[in-house]
Amino acid sequence: MGKFKKKKGGELPAISTASLPDIVFMLLFFFMTTTVMRDSSALVKNELAFSDQATKIKDKNLYEYLMIGAPTDKKYGTNPKIQLNDVFGSVDEVRGFVRESLVSKSDVDKPKVTFGFKADMDATMGIISDVKDELRKENALKIAYYTRTGELSMNK
């Protein structure tokens, strides 16, 4: 019985856990702020063209984008493809994508929604033109081209 009483008096005091919530919240906030930007992983090569006239996006909520570029995985070929959200999409699926993106928006925001192209600089305009036609059919006429800040001479 006395076996258990031996250590009495020599224990370390318990480490205060009062700051644990703070640390947890700090981590939480940190991850919250950093994980917002990547909502889908790119299946296509996506090196945007450079431009020096581009403006910043103010309200991210009003912008929907689709990606166009050669697939990163060679087994899907080398021709530029469209990526809608997380999957490859065909030109015919663009209209569905437009309607789907508008569903979640409020009625006030609907006419303000801009559809953007995140197109790889080496993609050809043919596929982009096809998508533009689909957007026109869906009456989504406000469009945007995503670019990187830089000199035009970097578009090589």
Partner 1 sequence: MGRRKIPEINAGSMADIAFLLLIFFLVTTTMNQDRILTAKLPPWLPDNANVDIIIKEKNIFKILVSKDDVLLVENERMNIKDLRQAAINFLDNGGGTGENSCSYCKGKKDPKSSDNPAVKAVMSLKNDRGTSNKMYMSIQNELIAAYNFLRNRSSLEKYDLDWATLEEEYKDASPGPKKAALKKKIKAIKALWPKKISESVNK
**Enclosing H/E stretch for 26:** helix 20-35
CB of 90 to partner 1, least distance (A): 17
- Judge whether 81 and 68 are in contact, CB under 8 Å: yes
Q: Is 79 in the site for partner 1 (CB under 8 A)?
A: no
Q: Is 142 in the site for partner 1 (CB under 8 A)?
A: yes
CB of 61 to partner 1, least distance (A): 12
CB of 11 to partner 1, least distance (A): 9
Q: Is 61 in the site for partner 1 (CB under 8 A)?
A: no
Question: Applying CB under 8 A, which part among 71-79, 85-93, 98-106, 120-128 lies near partner 1?
Answer: 120-128
Among 6, 58, 74, 75, binds partner 1 (CB under 8 A): 58
Output 35 or 75, the one with its CB closest to partner 1.
Answer: 35
CA angle 67, 104, 40 (to 5 degrees): 30
Residue 141: burial class (beta carbons within 10 Å; 0-12, 13-18, 19+): exposed
DSSP state of 129: H
Residue 105: burial class (beta carbons within 10 Å; 0-12, 13-18, 19+): middle
Q: Is 110 in the site for partner 1 (CB under 8 A)?
A: no
